[in-house]
């Protein structure tokens, strides 16, 4: 019996997440994509299936709701049996100085950018461990979309960067605790990527000066192909130009 490799991608309806899901489907993965808006999610799932013929399962879920996170992992397990790759892409941001940050913005970013990934990892670990045991050469992988602002602080993006720094640290700790069992975690920390989320920067930074989503998806695929013996804690991707460590 042929076991189909499967992946779960959050924030999978557009932008980086949709591109990652598309590329994984092209590699033969069965993919669950999750996002808040059911209509957009269903449309993306149909497009990817039409392009690749892969099994694409859309699951509408707000990452700020703990119960939906558990239901998401359970739905993936019920449909595909196991889990080879967990891609934590869902995220939210808010621009403002530390002095200006509101409690609402703080709680939203903490919930979506850190608490949800932590909860997803906890819920998915039994599935990931099981796949790593079944395929000890390749193991199972977690890839989290962080940000270069989690590595080098950026004025106006304090809390966003702080939540991404926490995500980077979480990935390192997961690898320390789980890689001996074949499960490792990698953070990918890019500068500005040309997506809807960065449209607010267009007045001062042209889309052509931002990273394309294809480059981020390429890094996810590269990590997914590594053996279980390789652990990559964090991949920083800077934009070309004269400020390599800035967003």
Q: Given the residues 68, 160, 170, 210, select the one marked as catalytic.
A: 160
Structure tokens at 141: 């992988």
Based on DSSP, count helices (H) and strands (E) in the chain, helices before strands. Answer: 7, 7
Structure tokens at 130: 């099981």
Give the burial string for 103-119 (b: 16+ CB within 10 Å, else e): eebeebbbbbbbbbbeb
List phi, psi (to 5°) of 7.
Answer: -135, 155
Q: Catalytic residue at 192?
A: no
Cα angle 219, 244, 151; round to 5: 70
State how far the Cα of 84 lies from the Cα of 152, in Å rounded to an integer: 31
What sign does the dihedral 148-108-217-165 (CA atoms) show?
positive
User: Of 148, 181, 137, 17, which Cα lies nearest the Cα of 87?
Assistant: 17
State how far the Cα of 117 lies from the Cα of 145, in Å rounded to an integer: 10
Catalytic residues: 160
């Amino acid at each position: 019996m042929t076991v189909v490799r499967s992946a779960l991608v959050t924030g999978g309806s557009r932008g980086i997440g949709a591109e990652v899901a598309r590329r994984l489907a092209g590699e033969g993965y069965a993919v669950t994509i999750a996002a808040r808006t059911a209509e957009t999610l269903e449309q993306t799932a149909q497009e990817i299936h039409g392009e690749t013929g892969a099994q694409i399962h859309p699951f509408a879920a707000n990452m700020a709701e703990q119960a939906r996170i558990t239901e998401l992992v359970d739905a993936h397990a019920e449909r595909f049996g196991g889990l080879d790759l967990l891609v934590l892409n869902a995220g939210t941001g808010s621009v403002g100085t530390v002095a200006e940050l509101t409690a609402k913005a703080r709680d939203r970013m903490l919930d979506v950018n850190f608490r949800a990934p932590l909860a997803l990892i906890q819920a998915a670990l039994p599935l990931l461990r099981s796949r790593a045991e079944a395929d000890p050469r390749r193991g199972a992988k977690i890839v989290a979309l962080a940000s270069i602002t989690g590595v080098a602080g950026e004025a106006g993006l304090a809390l966003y960067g702080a939540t991404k720094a926490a995500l980077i640290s979480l990935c390192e700790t997961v690898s320390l605790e789980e890689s001996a069992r074949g499960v490792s975690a990698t953070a990918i920390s890019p500068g500005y990527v040309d997506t809807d989320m960065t449209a607010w920067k267009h007045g001062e930074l042209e889309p052509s000066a931002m990273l394309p989503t294809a480059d981020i998806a390429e890094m996810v695929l590269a990590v997914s192909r590594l053996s279980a013996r390789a652990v990559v804690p964090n991949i920083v991707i800077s934009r070309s130009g004269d400020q390599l460590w800035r967003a």
